[in-house]
Amino acid sequence: MIYIRKQFSRNNSMLFKRENKREHYRIRYPLACRPILKIGYAKYEVMDISEKGVKFNFSAYRMAPPGTQINAYITFHDGRSLKIEGELIRVNRNFATAILKLKESIPWKRILNEQRFLKEKYPELPKK
């Protein structure tokens, strides 16, 4: 649940509840420190991750169609890799991005470590 504070006047404000439309918390990476997704011999930059999904950049001519089952590894900033499996659910050839829906969640501890790293290294990033 997200609470939004709406200001009515300088001294009077109210809280409104709004449901989060996303199912899982998402971490967006700046260009300078994106994890690497390795599928076979090909390597791709990860744009964002959530517990159950990975969004990444690809070369438009080298991506499989939606519905393809993918086995891959993500290598994070600390050099640790995580084996992932999932289904390619979206491919946007105009923006050269693809989304992989994972069979098993990325561990919550890894999500928190990534969030902590980004907050320490890039304190100027928006807090979305």
Convert the pLDDT of each residue in 110-120 to its tens digit: 999 999 999 99
CATH of the domain at 39: 2.40.10.430
On the question of pLDDT at 7 being above 50, the answer is: no
Helix (H) or strand (E) holding 1: none
Distance CA 77, CA 34 (A): 8
Number of structural domains (the chain) is 1
Convert the pLDDT of each residue in 20-68 to its tens digit: 454 567 899 999 999 999 999 999 999 999 999 999 999 766 788 999 9
How much helix, strand and coil, in percent to the nearest 5, is found in the chain? 15, 45, 40
| Cα angle: 87, vertex 35, 98; to 5 degrees | 35
Asked if residue 3 is part of any domain, the answer here is no
Asked if residue 126 is part of any domain, the answer here is no
